[in-house]
């Protein structure tokens, strides 16, 4: 449960970061037209930082999630 | 056991505010207020009240004291992050008591660094909205905003929160006005074996994360300057390693100052012992020597520059308008190295000299940050404009002094609501 939720948080955060950076933000590469100046989706940089923050929060999920009755000391 | 004594009494002056503490706080808040007033003049009257002007026809520099201060402040934050990572990963147990201090320092300096950038832009609200709306990943500003500010801040908050949970759970068992706050902060922590194991694991993970973010964040700040091919004096591959090393050095130097102040204020010679300062002295020596090497390489390389434009910048820095600042900062870096090296070689460490070296290093770093930012704008240009000039005004000085005071206020208040040194250090050291 703990590992699963931690992994899920990490994957969601990392996926959001990667997608917003490589797909939703302005295209990477040598600019050949004005399309390189604009993001494919407005506020893609905001999604990127949200993604990064969620990735870091995976550590909090791992540590703060309460122990189940069986595993508690 | 020293640990339990600390917890039974009020640890590290927490929850108690002496008259002296209040006087200092009020004085600092007055300085913050003066900075806010200065910034209000800038908001009302515009950038004209600052020394900042456009490059080229306006003959000025759009970046000056604010950006130099920002680089210095966030450099301390990135350096603190790298020091937390190094102390955890390399098992530098003498530095582990500093980790919470480093975390608070990093958050405070990143915060004031961010505000310094806000002070620099003419339309702060528009700048913030547009950067989260349109920033291009290929722009170094994207990196400074995302990694340098948001990721660094978020990861430091997570680290500080997790690092304090056990402490909060212990404090929550004691009666007092802050009990509810500690109960909330502990988030159900019971100090079970399983929780301790998880704590160790997340400590290691966070150390790696903080180390990576610290290095990347310092590098992205450097890329703002280093990748500007059209700006002689800025463009260069050495900017990133130089920024990382200088961030480390200023972070260590600031840590020495804070640790020495806390040692004097709290009278805690156990947490802030001689071994800690010896380590900090030697780390500062290593980083300062590395930075002097970078300075030398930069100096030699730029002296052989093939571009007349770059030559002009080098000339202004070495022999011209900025020469006094360059030679003063270089001399201060050498003095820091000498002060720390003599102690390391003799094997005898004097706290006063270590503190002196830390102060000198920070002065040198501020001057160097100014030299990185300004000459590249006033002299470093490819178009045939006349040489520009930049002189900070009282508004800029008051704003940065106010921000520095704000960081100290943040630190002082934190100390009163949470133990600034972890009582679990002994256990962690043994565990490591």
Q: Is B161 on the interface with A (CB under 8 A)?
A: yes
Q: Is B155 on the interface with A (CB under 8 A)?
A: yes
- Residues of B with Cβ-Cβ distance to A56 under 8 angstroms: 151, 154-155, 158, 209
Q: Is B128 on the interface with A (CB under 8 A)?
A: no
> Per the CB < 8 Å rule, is A72 touching B194?
yes
pLDDT digits (tens, 9 = 90+) for B335-357: 999 999 999 999 999 999 999 99
pLDDT digits (tens, 9 = 90+) for A48-73: 999 999 999 999 999 998 877 655 44
pLDDT at site B385 = 84
> Per the CB < 8 Å rule, is A56 touching B151?
yes
**Most A-contacting residue of B131, B135, B164, B211 (CB-CB within 10 A), to test interface:** B135
When divided into structural domains, chain B yields a total of 2
Question: pLDDT > 90: what percent of chain B?
Answer: 61
d(C-alpha B40, C-alpha B45), whole Å: 8
pLDDT digits (tens, 9 = 90+) for B59-108: 889 999 999 999 999 999 999 999 999 999 998 888 888 999 999 999 99
> Per the CB < 8 Å rule, is B209 touching A59?
yes
Q: Is A14 on the interface with B (CB under 8 A)?
A: no
The answer to whether residue B304 sits within a structural domain is: no
Q: Is B199 on the interface with A (CB under 8 A)?
A: yes
- Residues of A with Cβ-Cβ distance to B146 under 8 angstroms: 45, 48-49, 52
The answer to whether residue B256 sits within a structural domain is: no
Please check whether residues B37 and B107 belong to one and the same domain: no
pLDDT digits (tens, 9 = 90+) for A30-51: 888 888 888 899 999 999 999 9
Q: Is B154 on the interface with A (CB under 8 A)?
A: yes
The answer to whether residue B77 sits within a structural domain is: yes
Domain endpoint, select from B182, B199, B227: B227
Please check whether residues B145 and B41 belong to one and the same domain: no
Q: Is A62 on the interface with B (CB under 8 A)?
A: yes
Please check whether residues B45 and B151 belong to one and the same domain: no
Helix (H) or strand (E) holding A46: helix A44-64
Q: What is the 3-state secondary structure (H, E, C) of chain B?
A: CHHHHHHHCCHHHCCCCCHHHHHHHHHHHHHHHHHHHHHHHHHHHCHHHCCCCCCHHHCCCCCCHHHHHHHHHHHHHHHHHHHHHHHHHCCCHHHHHHHHHHHHHHHHHHHHHHHHHHHHCCCHHHHHHHHHHHCCCCCHHHHHHHHHHHHHHHHHHHHHHHHHHHHHHHHCCCCCCCHHHHHHHHCCCCCCHHHHHHHHHHHHHHHHHHHHHHHHHHHHHHHHHHCCCCCCCCCCCCHHHHHHHHHHHHHHHHHHHHHHHHHHHHCCCCCCCHHHHHHHHHHHHHHHHHHHHHHHHHHHHHHCCCCHHHHHHHHHHHCCCCHHHHHHHHHHHHHHHHHHHHHHHHCCCCHHHHHHHHHHHHHHHHHHHHHHHCHHHHCCCCCCCCCCCCCCCHHHHHHHHHHHHHHHHHHHHHHHHCCCCCCCHHHHHHHC
* C-alpha gyration radius of chain B: 22
**Most B-contacting residue of A59, A62, A67, A68 (CB-CB within 10 A), to test interface:** A59
ipTM above threshold 0.95: no
pLDDT at site A70 = 56
Q: Are residues A2 and A62 in contact, defined by beta-carbon separation less than 8 angstroms?
A: yes
pLDDT digits (tens, 9 = 90+) for B107-158: 999 999 999 999 999 888 898 899 889 888 888 888 888 888 889 999 999 9
Please check whether residues B25 and B168 belong to one and the same domain: no
Domain endpoint, select from B171, B206, B227: B227
Domain layout of chain A by residue ranges:
2-64
B256 to B101, B334, B412: CA distances (angstroms): 11, 18, 17
The answer to whether residue B208 sits within a structural domain is: yes
d(C-alpha B371, C-alpha B320), whole Å: 12
Please check whether residues B24 and B162 belong to one and the same domain: no
Query: Any idea which residue has 């994207």 for tokens?
Result: B142
Please check whether residues B45 and B160 belong to one and the same domain: no
pLDDT digits (tens, 9 = 90+) for B156-169: 999 999 988 888 88
pLDDT at site B428 = 46
Evaluate if residue B249 carries a pLDDT over 90.
Answer: yes
The answer to whether residue B207 sits within a structural domain is: yes
Please check whether residues B85 and B212 belong to one and the same domain: yes
Residue in chain A nearest B187 by alpha carbon: A64
Please check whether residues B47 and B74 belong to one and the same domain: no
Domain range for residue B23? 19-51+393-420
> Per the CB < 8 Å rule, is A67 touching B161?
no
pLDDT at site B427 = 47
Residue in chain B nearest A44 by alpha carbon: B133
Domain endpoint, select from B185, B209, B227: B227
Please check whether residues B47 and B110 belong to one and the same domain: no
* Among candidates B154, B190, B199 on the partner chain, residue whose Cβ is nearest the Cβ of A52: B154
Q: Is B212 on the interface with A (CB under 8 A)?
A: no
The answer to whether residue B328 sits within a structural domain is: no
Q: Is B162 on the interface with A (CB under 8 A)?
A: yes
Q: What are phi and psi of B7, to 5 degrees?
A: -75, -35
The answer to whether residue B359 sits within a structural domain is: no
pLDDT at site B431 = 38
């Amino acid at each position: 449960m703990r590992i699963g939720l931690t992994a899920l948080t990490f994957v969601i955060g990392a996926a959001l970061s990667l997608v917003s950076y490589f797909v939703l933000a302005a295209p990477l590469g040598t600019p050949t037209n004005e399309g390189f100046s604009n993001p494919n989706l407005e506020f893609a940089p905001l999604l990127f930082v949200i993604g990064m923050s969620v990735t870091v929060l995976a550590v909090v999920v791992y540590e703060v999630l309460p122990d189940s009755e069986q595993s508690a000391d | 056991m020293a640990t339990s004594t600390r917890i039974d009494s009020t640890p590290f002056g927490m929850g108690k505010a002496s008259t002296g503490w209040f006087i200092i706080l009020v004085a600092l808040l007055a300085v913050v207020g003066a900075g806010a007033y200065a910034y209000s003049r800038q908001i009302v009257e515009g950038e004209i009240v600052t020394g900042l002007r456009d490059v080229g026809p306006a003959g000025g520099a759009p970046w000056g004291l604010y950006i130099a201060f920002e680089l210095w402040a966030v450099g301390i934050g990135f350096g603190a992050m790298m020091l937390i990572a190094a102390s955890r990963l390399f098992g530098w147990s003498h530095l582990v008591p500093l980790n919470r201090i480093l975390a608070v320092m990093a958050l405070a300096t990143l915060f004031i660094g961010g505000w310094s950038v806000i002070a620099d832009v003419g339309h702060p609200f528009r700048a913030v909205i547009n950067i989260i709306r349109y920033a291009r990943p290929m722009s170094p500003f994207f990196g400074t905003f995302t990694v340098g500010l948001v990721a660094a801040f978020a990861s430091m908050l997570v680290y500080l929160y997790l690092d304090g949970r056990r402490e909060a759970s212990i404090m929550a068992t004691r009666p007092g006005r802050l009990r509810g706050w500690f109960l909330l902060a502990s988030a159900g922590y019971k100090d079970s074996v399983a929780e301790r194991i998880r704590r160790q694991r997340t400590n290691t993970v966070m150390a790696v994360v903080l180390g990576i973010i610290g290095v990347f964040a310092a590098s992205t700040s450097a890329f703002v300057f280093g990748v500007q091919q059209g700006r002689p004096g800025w463009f260069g591959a050495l900017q990133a390693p130089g920024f990382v090393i200088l961030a480390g050095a200023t972070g260590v130097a600031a840590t020495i100052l804070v640790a020495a102040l806390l040692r004097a204020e709290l009278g805690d010679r156990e947490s802030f012992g001689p071994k800690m300062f010896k380590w900090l002295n030697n780390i500062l020596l290593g980083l300062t020597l590395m930075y002097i090497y970078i300075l030398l390489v930069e100096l030699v390389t730029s002296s052989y520059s093939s571009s007349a434009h770059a030559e002009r910048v080098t000339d202004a820095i070495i022999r011209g308008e900025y020469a006094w600042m360059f030679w003063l900062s270089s001399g201060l870096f050498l003095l820091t190295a000498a002060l720390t090296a003599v102690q390391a070689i003799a094997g005898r460490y004097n706290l006063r000299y270590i503190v002196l070296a830390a102060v000198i290093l920070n002065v040198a770093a501020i001057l160097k940050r100014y030299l990185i930012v300004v000459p590249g704008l006033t002299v470093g240009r490819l178009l045939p404009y006349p040489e520009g000039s930049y002189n900070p005004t009282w508004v800029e000085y008051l704003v940065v002094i106010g921000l520095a005071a704000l960081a100290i206020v943040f630190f002082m208040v934190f100390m009163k609501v949470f133990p600034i040194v972890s009582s679990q250090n002994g256990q962690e050291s043994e565990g490591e």
